[in-house]
Structure 1
Amino acid sequence: MELRQIGKTPLKSSVLSLGAAPLGGLFAPVTEADASATVEASLRVGIKLIDVAPHYGQGLAEVRLGKALQGLPNDNYLLSTKVGRLLEPSESATVGDNWPEALNFTTVYDTSRRGILKSLEDSCRRLGTSEIDIAFLHDPDRYAKDSSDLRGMISEAYETLSELRSQGRVKAMGIGVNAAEPCFAAMQIGTWDCFVLAGTYSVLRQEDKGLLDACAAASVSVLIGGPYMSGALAGGSTWRYRPIPPDIEDDIARLKAICDRHEVPMQAAALQFPLRHPAVSSVIVGMRSASEVAENYGFLNAWVPDGFWSDLEKEGLARR
């Protein structure tokens, strides 16, 4: 599988990465056997980056990922996890529609030095590793009161993360969000290696507000999360985890017509389109079984003619 450099670091990511949220039971429970099989299948097809977070199942995804990686040489893959959402022990799990089998923790948002160091220490323990390759500040915009508060959170986290990077305790650092604005704010505060941008830049909608171009100019890598937009671009019924809006349904139909004309699976278009931008190092896909890994690997490598991309641009569905 093709590898791409992450920022100006020596790290290289596979163009397809494993998103570990489903291993934490996102939307539906997952067996440990399926979790392990998913990780094994991912490494077998050449996936090099596995992205996880304490938030996924309140630590469950990290625990399951750690068990699946036990005994495997860690020079075969990169691990990224997130800070900001610090897990504190609780008498009961914070379960819900999204995380039906979450572990017994409650979330405290903490970007302080103590909070970040403890979050990484706890993640390492759950993952069964002594080090994390990439640390992302997770969703600061969801907890900030206003733009000033957001900048304060990012600045506070930046001080600790950049210190860890300079000490070699993490090899790269960034933020993981669902909108472009926090990334722009981060770029004004300091030097970052990469961003996870989820649910914002897809083959059907490019709502990054010029962020990818700015990142390409600054040698900051972008990892695109949610290329299927929570399922709508893979035959599902949700767009950004909500029912598909009518205007999106209309554009999906237009996209499908172009796909059918060129005999291109819509999933192949969804995975391959973000990788056409020079800022993008990888697309992160949440997968919960070995069969899903095989399917996505196939879509990644499916033939897509140049005429397909030209037609998308002519239809106004996609821009480079």
Structure 2
Amino acid sequence: MNKFPSRPLAGTGLRLSTLGLGAAALAGLYDAVDGPTAAATLQTAWEQDLRFIDTAPFYGYTRSEGRVGAFLTGRRRGGFVLSTKVGRVMVPDDGVRPGDDGWADPLPLRPVFDYSHDGVMRSFEASLQRLGVQRIDILLVHDIGRATHGDRNQFHWKALTEGGGFRALQALRSQGLVRAIGLGVNEWEVAQDALAAAPLDCVLLAGRYTLLEQGALPFLDRCAAQGVGVIIGGPFNSGLLAGQARYNYGSVPHDMLQRARALAETCAEFRVPLEAAALRFPLAHPAVVSVLAGMRSPQQVIANVSWMRRPLPDDLWPALRHRGLLHAEAPLPAACAKEA
């Protein structure tokens, strides 16, 4: 098997496989995944040379971190890149029920937002224990921003900035307990604010720079100019570009449904799976280091790897742009197709 392509995360010494495994689905996002299937999914990803795994305490209310940690036990620490997140402290709660926050079978722990210095440290230390490691490669501030917090966002932003959350991240990095720090968010605006507030290495941006929508293009251009790496999450926009009737973790607006259909029709004309185009497109931007796809079974791993490796015709991308389906200034993936 050919080694899967990887890209460097500038200034950190890390290299990320261009396709990473997002481990939220393994924690039972919407539908339960049993332990043996989760372990088999991680094993298949490993065999396919996907060595970048992203998790978080929030996923399954710690179920994801526990499963990832169990799988990684005994594996050479330099053989994979691991990211997790802070911003929520998990506290015991027997009132947790199936379906809470979209998790089919969450563990009896309730997430409490805490972006302060102490909150970040508590979350980090608990993640080390669940993951069974002594350091985290990439530590991300999870879900800061108005999309999550609404009118409470300013309160949490002050905890992150004035309350020492960013300072805690920088201390962990300077101590070598973390290799890179950043944000893991669904909105680019707060990430742009964060770049002005702290020296971040990367941003995990979910759903805002995809084949479906490129509104975050100016932000990615800024990241490229500043040497900040971008990891693209949600390349299928919560499944809309992979045949599911879901967008942004909810129902699909009519305009997005129409756009997705137009993308699918154009890809079909070029005999290209829509999923392959969706995975490949973000990697054309010079700021993008990796694309994270959620995978809940070995079959989904094989499918995603196949889509990512599939040669795509160069003339697909100008056709999409000509039909108004791609931003006029978005980089096109001709060079990226040769890499993968």
The letter of the residue matching 2:319 is D
The answer to whether the aligner puts 1:95 opposite 2:98 as a matched pair is: yes
Aligned match of 1:53: 56
* Runs of 4 or more above 6 Å deviation: none
Give the Cα–Cα distance (whole angstroms) in 1 for the partners of residues 143 and 97 of structure 2.
18
Query: 238-247 vs 55-64, which deviates more?
Result: 238-247
Q: Give the stretch that moved more between structures: 77-86 or 88-97.
A: 88-97
The counterpart of 2:290, out of the listed 273, 282, 300, is 282
Partners in 1 of 2:285 and 2:156 — Cα distance?
Answer: 28
- Do 1:174 and 1:193's aligned partners in 2 also have CA atoms closer than 8 Å? yes
Please list, as runs of the form range in 1=range in 2, the aligned pairs for 1:142-157 lying within 5 A after superposition. 142-143=148-149, 145=151, 148-149=154-155, 151-155=157-161, 156-157=164-165
1:20 corresponds to: 23
- Does structure 1 conserve the Cα–Cα contact (< 8 Å) formed by 2:276 and 2:307? yes
Partner of 1:95, secondary structure, is coil
Hey, what's the Cα distance between the residues in 1 that align with 2:113 and 2:149?
7
In the alignment, structure 1 residue 268 sits paired with structure 2 residue 272: no
Q: Point out where structure 1 has 5 or more consecutive residues left out of the alignment.
A: none
Aligned residue identity for 2:128: C
Confirm whether residue 318 of structure 1 aligns to residue 326 of structure 2: yes
Q: Does 1:128 align with 2:137?
A: no
Aligned-pair RMSD on alpha carbons? Answer: 1.4
TM-aligned CA deviation for residue 249 of structure 1: 1.8
Find the partner of 2:185 among 174, 177, 185.
177
* Match of residue 246 from structure 2: 238
2:202 corresponds in structure 1 to 194
Q: Distance in 2 between matches of 1:6 and 1:171?
A: 10
Q: State the AA in 2 paired with 1:102.
A: P
| Mean CA deviation greater in 166-175 or 107-116 | 107-116
State the one-letter code of the partner of 1:282. S
Q: Is the 1:94–1:106 contact (alpha carbons within 8 Å) kept by the matching residues of 2?
A: no
Contact 2:93–2:109, Cα closer than 8 Å, also in 1: yes
In the aligned structure 2, how far is the partner of 1:157 from the partner of 1:229?
A: 29
Aligned match for 1:254, one of 262, 280, 290: 262
Conserved? CA contact 1:82–1:137, under 8 Å: yes
In 1, the alpha carbon distance for the partners of 2:116 and 2:153 equals 18
Distance 1:282 1:31 in 2: 27
SS of 2:239's equivalent in the other structure is: helix
Partner of 1:229: 237
Q: Is structure 2 residue 305 aligned with structure 1 residue 297?
A: yes
User: TM-score by structure 2 length?
Assistant: 0.91
Contact 2:117 2:160 in 1 (8 A): no
Shift of 1:146: 5.9
User: What per-residue deviation string (whole Å, max 9, x for no partner) do you get for residues 254-304 of structure 1?
Assistant: 111211111110000100000010111011111011111000000001111
Is residue 115–residue 156 contact of structure 2 (8 Å, CA) maintained in 1? no
Shift of residue 119 of structure 1? 0.6
Is this contact kept in 2: 1:8–1:220, CA < 8 A? no
Can you give the 5+ residue segments of structure 2 that lack an aligned partner in the other structure?
Answer: 331-340
One-letter amino acid of the counterpart of residue 88, structure 1 = V
Q: How much identity, in percent, do the aligned residues show? A: 39
- What letter is aligned with 2:191? C
Which is worse superposed, 264-273 or 231-240?
231-240
